[in-house]
Amino acid sequence: MRFAEALRQPGLTAIAEVKRRSPSAGDLRPDADPAALAVAFERSRSAAVSILVDERFGGSFDDLRAARAATELPLLAKGFFSTRAHLEEARESGADAVLLLLRDLDDPTALQLLRAAQELELDALVEAHDKDELRRAVRVDAEVIGINARDLTTFEIDRIAQLELVSQAPRDRVIVAESGIVSRAQGAAAELAGADAVLVGSTLMRAPDPAAKLAELVSRPLVKVCGLTREEDVAVGAEAGADMAGFILVEESPRRAAEVLPVPETMLSVAVHVGEYKDHGTDLVQLYEQQQGTVRGRDAVLLRNGEVVARALDLPWEESDPEHLARAAQADGRVMLAGRLGPDNVRAAIEAVQPWAVDAASRLEREPGIKDHEKVRAFVEAAR
């Protein structure tokens, strides 16, 4: 399978990177075995593997050859390539794709290298760091565009700027969010902004089990704990591994939050409204239909910057529906499943629906708006 084709598979895909050291962080995994890691990443359903071939990162083309002998996954050769000879060496060493850094290439050179890559049957990951470079990537007709959150001069990470660029990229290209992803929530944020894939290196190399960390980052469903009103409950949700924190900002709700509370970087914040969209600066807004005579309508949409990115399929307010799971299982697109989920039934619900996310509130409480910490932990564990 081609590199670009592998990244276009449904859902958020991942490129796992083998990187012994980083100029910004120093040694990461000096003893990294590219062959063993490539095999492990393939078992963890990585779409492709990136191999650093530059000595500044502790890499070489021997690493690429070793990975090629061990796996059939598409391999991305990452280096500072500027000539056809560089691409030829990458191809001969087993690469399926090469990195082209627009920071170091003018447009004529980038076009020459893209033509050379095509002649050599290589895909190219054309990397951009700002709006100008994104425009240039589109102008040279790059099929796969990487948006790097790391400034290669200062080495600082700016995920907000990265997400803005990802959201501006053309949807007919393969978009890869690179650098700075350490949690499922951060990967999901890139996905919802429009990324097809994430490239993860340092986070994996620092993990005791890189393949297990990769599987964790791309695993679904995401887990949302909703109806939060206290900072200590947010902290327990984060510690348990929940990916989203929900704050109900509806006057009539028995678990109304006075405000949106701070959440850690490992979680996405979600403001829940009924009838009217309001921006509280949260990562997402969950907007229910207004229904006369009840607090809310049945279903909701999940919005990012006002754009629908998923649907929340719920039970009617204070009613049941024996066809709820069957109905949700037939839905297309990203589905966040809600409706009296708890530790005892969430696993069966996941198996029946295969949702993108699960959402629980009332059955994780001691009383409305006050979470039972053991139930929160049990719910997240069962959903995983």
371 annotated active-site: no
- Cα distances from 361 to residues 16, 253, 342, in angstroms, run 35, 12, 8
**Residues in the chain, overall count:** 384
179 annotated active-site: yes
17 annotated active-site: yes
Q: Which of 17, 42, 89, 191 is catalytic?
A: 17
Q: Sign (positive/negative) of CA torsion 105, 173, 178, 280?
A: positive
How far, in Å, CA of 193 to CA of 187, rounded?
10
Q: Please give the structure tokens belonging to residue 78.
A: 């990452």
How far, in Å, CA of 78 to CA of 20, rounded?
13
Label residue 139 exposed, middle or buried (CB < 10 Å: 0-12, 13-18, 19+): exposed
How far, in Å, CA of 269 to CA of 361, rounded?
15
How far, in Å, CA of 363 to CA of 344, rounded?
10
| Closest-CA residue to 96 (of 198, 3, 9) | 3
Q: Which of 50, 60, 78, 183 is catalytic?
A: 78
Q: Which of 42, 60, 93, 127 is catalytic?
A: 127
Q: Which of 19, 213, 224, 375 is catalytic?
A: 19
| Closest-CA residue to 357 (of 291, 288, 297, 270) | 270
How far, in Å, CA of 202 to CA of 349, rounded?
35
Q: Which of 42, 133, 143, 178 is catalytic?
A: 178
Own/partner long-range contacts of 319-327 (Cβ < 8 Å, ≥24 apart) = 325/349, 325/352, 325/353, 326/352
78 annotated active-site: yes
How far, in Å, CA of 189 to CA of 195, rounded?
9
Q: Which of 93, 179, 202, 269 is catalytic?
A: 179
Q: Which of 148, 183, 202, 269 is catalytic?
A: 148
- Torsion angles phi and psi, residue 224, rounded to 5: -115, 130
DSSP 3-state of 193: helix
Q: Which helix (H) or strand (E) holds 26?
A: strand 26-27
Instruction: Tell me the residue type at 122.
Output: L
55 annotated active-site: no
Catalytic center residues: 17, 19, 78, 127, 148, 178-179
